[in-house]
Amino acid sequence: MTSALPMLQVRRLAKRFPPRAGAESPWILADLSFHVCEREFLTMVGPSGAGKSTLLNIIAQVDGASDGEILFRGEAIGSANGRTLNPGWDCQIGYVTQDDNLLPWRTLIDNVTLPLKLQGRYDEAAKKRVVELFCATNLTGFERYYPHELSGGMRKRGSLIRTLAYDPPIILMDEPFSAVDAQTRTQLQQDLLRLWNLGRKTIVFVTHDIAEAIALGDRVLVLSKSPAKVIADHRIDISRPRDLGNVYKLEGFGDIFERVRRDIQ
Amino acid sequence: MTAAALSSPLRLRSKPYLVPAGRIALGIAIVALWQIGTGVMGRDFLPSPWDTLARIGSLARSGELFRDAAITFGEAAAGMLLGGAAGAILPFLLRLSPRLMRALDPLISAGFGLPKLALAPLFILWFGIGITTKVVFVASIVFFLMFYNGLAGVLSVDPRLIATFRVAGAGEWVINREIVWNTAKPFLFSGLKIALPRALSGAVVGEFIAADQGLGWYIEHARSLNDTTGVLAGAVIVTVLVMAVNAGLRRVQARSLAWRPLAADMTL
């Protein structure tokens, strides 16, 4: 009964963009509710264009909601009447976007450490963590390279560890691996799970790839077509560590995959 | 784009002497044409390269060259500092208020369209015939060149970069210094590439109108004496000054934008 408070609660969230050329814009999100627990890896899967990025933008407070509320550890952080946004909620909410968004004029190491420096937290412990993260993602040796000198997969890993380096309690991920080839993607997913296992952060991972959602998550939420709302909630009991090279052979995978696929249709 | 065009930067690097050699060859060709032109038109209409060079030499020996060049250069530099800096900074401030940007837009384009030369008599009335008039004249030209390039830079900022770094704890000042500034820098260099020569030629033109020193004054003075060699010598000195300024700019730019892909090939 005394279950811990969910880390993040989203309640009856709704969003539509301002009217365009006099005509009302359609609802992107409507009556969308869910929660994430501490240290949980939550994945959300939904059709392309369902408003997944909009949802994460609102949680990260890059964009405002039209209705509903978001509670972070029980405290309301963004609501329809909150006019001023506080992106990242004082560095409590990390956000790994679809594009790597590395600064092209900064070397990889400068990109990764910039948030730490901005937050005044680039101390010895942070330096050590950054070295570990470079090592864990096979980026050691590329610290002084500029983003345009790196491959797409390396840039992705760079943007991932940029957020992990400053260690926000919860990290939102918006299809971070959608723009890379299948093999790199499996490698990146494996890297992500390993990093997650080291630190056990709370992650909300959005994707349109059902297999990816199941392979990574503790729980998969299925979003409907626009306007998006949560239409199903599947617990994934596949044991960890998971071998992502063979997700289809994981015990119970096929069964869940079928169920999620039916929900989406 | 053809394969040959794509591979040309590599060839540039493998034979580094080709570009300077080509430039020297072109220079010699121009001087040769000039000499031929002198032969055809006569020395009074087109003084020979040698006569022009001799005049520059005598101006250098007497010290006039350096005095006049320093005055003209100083006017151009002061005009750049005044107008160029203001034009470069304004877009960064306007970014914070899109409404003000829209309100000012027609005003600034009207100012850009205003023929500054036509205002020269007023400038002289207000600021006298001293250096101030030339500085204001130069500033009124370069302000717009720097403003429009800076504005293009500020408007080309990737909003996703800003959102990403806001989430990671960057405030408005950091966004401006780190993201907007670095995005706009190549545009500001393009602006300088146009504005610096215009500043020098603006100072020279300003001196045509009213002055008692400077390279423009020397050219105008020579013209009034029908001294075509003096006119040409003055023009050559101004050109060399522009080239020197450009060379300096190129160096600063190459160092400042070293992060860009193939910076060496893109810096022209």
Is residue A109 situated within a structural domain? no
Quick: pLDDT tens for B178-198.
999 999 999 999 999 999 999
Residue A169 lies in a domain: no
* Cβ neighbour number for residue B104 with a 10 Å cutoff: 14
pLDDT at B14: 65
SS (HEC) of B125-141: HHHCCCHHHHHHHHHHH
Nearest residue, CB atoms, A101 vs list B161, B178, B182: B161
Record: contact B170-A106, CB cut-off 8 A: no
Angle CA A124–A111–B265, to nearest 5: 135
Residue of A nearest to B171 (CA): A118
Residue in B166, B174, B259 closest to A87 by CB: B166
- Range B223-237 average pLDDT: 95
* Stretch A177-190: mean pLDDT: 86
Per-residue pLDDT reduced to its tens digit, A46-76: 988 888 999 999 999 998 889 999 999 988 8
> Could you read off the pLDDT of A201-242 as tens digits, one per residue?
899 999 999 999 999 999 999 999 889 999 999 999 988 888
Residues 6+ apart with CB under 8 A from A8: A35, A36, A59, A70, A71, A72, A170, A202, A204
Of B161, B260, B261, nearest to A103 by CB-CB distance is: B161
Could you tell me the two tokens for B84? 């160029």
Q: What tokens were used for A223?
A: 């979003």
Q: Is B168 in CB contact (< 8 Å) with chain A? A: yes
In terms of DSSP bridges, do strands A75-79 and A67-72 run parallel, antiparallel, or are they unpaired? antiparallel
**Element spanning B182, H or E:** helix B181-209
Domain count, chain A: 1
Q: Print burial letters for A96-106: b (CB count within 10 Å at least 16), e (below 16).
A: bbbebbbbebb
3 state SS of A22 = coil
| Minimum-distance CB partner of B259 among A88, A99, A105 | A105
Higher pLDDT, A251 or B156: B156
Total Cβ atoms within 10 A of residue B14: 8
Edge to edge, the sheet with strand A67-72 lists A27-36, A8-16, A67-72, A75-79
Q: Could you tell me if B259 lies within 8 Å of chain A, comparing CB atoms?
A: yes
Residue A80 has a pLDDT of: 57
Q: Is 50 exceeded by the pLDDT of residue B6?
A: no
In a mutagenesis test of the A interface, which of B160, B167, B183, B256 is the best target, namely the one with the most A β-carbons within 10 Å? B167
Chain B: closest CA distance from residue A197 (Å): 23
CATH of the domain at A7: 3.40.50.300
Chain-chain contact of A103 with B170 (C-beta, under 8 angstroms): no
Domain positions in chain B are 48-266
Q: Which fold has domain B48-266?
A: MetI-like fold (1.10.3720)
pLDDT tens-digit map of B11-68: 555 677 888 999 999 999 999 999 999 999 999 899 999 999 999 999 999 999 999 9
pLDDT band at A79 (very low <50, low <70, confident <90, very high): low
Q: How far is CA B208 from the centre of its chain?
A: 19
Question: Which domain does A79 fall in, by range?
Answer: 1-19+26-89+202-265
